[in-house]
Structure 1
Amino acid sequence: MKDDIFSPEGTYVIQFDVFEVKMSHWIETPRIFRVADNQLLFDLRGDVWSAMRINWLSESRLELLVAKYPGRISCHLFLDLQTDRGAGTADNDRFEGNLSGLENWVRQH
């Protein structure tokens, strides 16, 4: 099981729903919470999206690369958890808006 990943100062945490889809092929679906009140801020459960790369840019900003299984679809995401804003790119498609809108945009791919 993938360990939780905390923001640099511990304000936010990324947790993963992990499951095997094929022998030795694991999906690690991210969910992001604010630690102080356990508020869910971003959630890709319900689809088969797996976190491929996670990079904290600051205490509240992060970069995520997620890929959908099966297939070759990936989305490059930038989230600002403090301001509830995000942006994403996938192929020639781009989104900017609030985090729930970004979740919906990712699920449309």
Structure 2
Amino acid sequence: MARPCMRCKARRGIARAAAGIASEIQAWIDRENVARLVAALRSDGAVDATARPLLADLETRLLSVDRFDSRLQRALLQYGVFTAVEAKLGDPALGDGCATAVLEKAATMTAGKKTVEGRRRG
């Protein structure tokens, strides 16, 4: 069996390091976005103008996750996204469809499962 060349090993090492850095950056972005969303939802009075776009961004992020993401799960639970979104479900400024979609997808994601064509897989 042929041994991989040193250049190939170096490339794989660089690729692993780059993937790790990208993962850390995405986790930081997720934490910041979740924190801003919860702050906007918990603000007194009407839903802040930034809450709807942040909720849509979170929905997009949740739909783009193709596997269980423990860092995203931790951010969702740590900042209390579920209670903040549930508290504003009846607010017409927020839009029930988007809020409901986020709750369903986040609940599925935090359970470690992904819904595919109506079937769940682990």
Q: Compute the TM-score of the two structures, normalised by the length of structure 1.
A: 0.27
Greater strand fraction, Structure 1 or Structure 2: 1
Higher CA-based Rg: 2
Q: Which is bigger in relative contact order (C-alpha 8 A, separation at least 6)?
A: 2
